[in-house]
Chain A
């Protein structure tokens, strides 16, 4: 049985539905990310789970129990806020101990557990500091320790890393994942950062317009996006309008421009489709063998790889190439592009995202 079950959740603000019929099942100990652009309803969903906002419709089951009538203070959920929301007038120890104090945990045990929690987030020794005297990363850890020390059944993370600089964010991602796994706590992460979601989660729920578009493991969501929105939100992709028709032996023939590609990997489809191919899977082909002809507009060197923008009849296409020691193409070059037929995906033709 799922540990957390969201069923048909709706939240309306006036006429606008911020969350519009959202259903999701999360297993015990699982790390699930709600990923989407701002305004997709992910934070509102989190607030409903936490008990800060009341659903307009739908149910939230934790451990099979409907929590509609349970106030936030009785749900036993640990939350890390985007702003950390540390209590500025309390020391680190008092901040972390607050939840235990509310649970009337006796002082000796409280002190022991606070020390343990601070140890877990590598902040032993800073207990007497006030939040103001801590760096952003340290504040973030205090917030995490404060949420974990109450041994919550469920941990909610609201963009917890978005206020950290890039390097620290990467470190904290790894650490967050380790801490979550050692604590074994079921975790929901809300984020708009796809790398963060991919690095941390067991499964990603991609949200758009108040609904979940796809729930899948990071690899699956990246490799087999359900819609063009998912494919372009999770990483970069090239989308080419094409026509699919049935070929021999159940294969699909995809036609666009003057090219025809036969593939058996993409889910069978007929009629108009969007062909999606990731930039890192596109290669420069010898003359006469490519699917698309174009002209290199820019070549950006990123150290480990090159990022090319190629002007083609289907708009600008992106090509990512490993840096092999010398540039494969230069701006202004006429090139032909090709890819492995098995690597392209066929998506429903209606564009859901710019």
Chain B
């Protein structure tokens, strides 16, 4: 590439840009505008510029609970995914290459299957008459079934399963960036395996864990299919609430307002987190 023609660059990225504008920016702007419209039970949707929808959501305890639940679920999923995914990535990193490809396939394979299918699988497993409860009761370990289906716990379990590959990949990439000699250096200085992992490997993998957390958190906070299937009618999260407003109540403006609030809340979390991470690691890793 001796010369870069700026016009050619724009021209070449034009299709992607058009796609981005048409499929992401336009719907977002339309949703944003829609969130100011007014909905009447008899009058339907009327174009307006009114902050009433936002006021409704922000002042209603019902919505507070849903937002709080969504973020708690997302937080729990992120934490568990980090705790499970990091050692998983390290083991993967230390494996012989033949095994590694096989295990990598096992980790990434589920991503090829629809989230709905995987979630239905969890519904079969964790239902009151599901495989887990039947087995535990059959063994006489529990008297009555553990309630998992239609609870936040059930949603967390299934979301962790769905999202942990993203954590593994992010951490794995970070592990690959570190100099394998640092582990040997630590060993030669007298560090045991556990010390090496916690003092040398983990801190160097931290950027990967943090970026994996960003991905997992934002996906968990906006997840729809899994909470919709496992949460049922009672355990609602923001995404399922938006869906209900749009398709059951037909109150599109309110649904749009909730969607915008979710977007803003997730963005605020992500950006402040990102800033924290950057400040923390700028001088160390650059």
Contact = CB atoms under 8 A, between A and B. Distances in A.
Contact of A73 (B179, B181, B182, B192): B192
A99 B195 CA distance: 12
Contact of B181 (A77, A83, A99, A146): A83
Most chain B beta-carbon neighbours within 10 Å: one of A73, A75, A78: A73
B190 A85 contact: no
Contacts of A177: none
A326 interface: no
Give chain B's interface residue range (CB within 8 Å of chain A): 20 to 34
B286 interface: yes
A230 B185 CA distance: 32
B184 interface: yes
Interface in B132-191: 178-179, 181-182, 184-191
Nearest to A94: B199
Given A73-B191, A73-B192, A81-B181, A87 B186 contact: yes
A95 to B, nearest CB: 9
B200 interface: yes
B10 interface: no
B203 interface: yes
Contacts of A133: 283
Contacts of A88: 178, 182, 204, 284-285
Interface in B228-286: 283-286
A72 B184 contact: yes
Interface residues of A, number: 30
Contact of B285 (A75, A132, A146): A132
Contacts of B184: 50, 52, 72, 79, 81, 85
B189 A102 contact: yes
A260 to B, nearest CB: 56
B284 A73 contact: no
Contacts of A3: none
A132 B286 contact: yes
Interface string A115-132: 000000000000000101
Given A88-B204, A130-B283, A146 B189 contact: yes
A75 B185 CA distance: 12
Contact of B187 (A72, A83, A86, A89): A72
A238 to B, nearest CB: 40
Contact of B188 (A78, A87, A89, A103): A78
Contacts of B190: 73-74, 76, 99, 102-103, 150
Contact of B189 (A83, A98, A130, A132): A98
A133 to B, nearest CB: 7
Interface in B197-213: 199-200, 203-204, 206
A187 to B, nearest CB: 14
A89 B283 contact: no
Contacts of A81: 181, 184-185
Most chain B beta-carbon neighbours within 10 Å: one of A71, A76, A99: A99
A87 B184 CA distance: 11
Nearest to B193: A73
Given A73-B192, A130-B283, A87 B200 contact: yes
Contacts of A99: 189-190
Interface of A: 50-52, 71-79, 81-83, 85-89, 98-99, 102-103, 130, 132-133, 146-147, 150
8 closest A-B pairs by CB: A85-B181, A99-B189, A102-B190, A85-B185, A89-B203, A72-B187, A81-B181, A79-B188
21 contacts: A51-B187, A52-B184, A72-B187, A73-B188, A73-B192, A78-B188, A79-B184, A81-B185, A85-B179, A85-B181, A85-B182, A87-B185, A87-B200, A88-B178, A88-B284, A89-B203, A98-B186, A98-B191, A130-B283, A146-B185, A150-B190
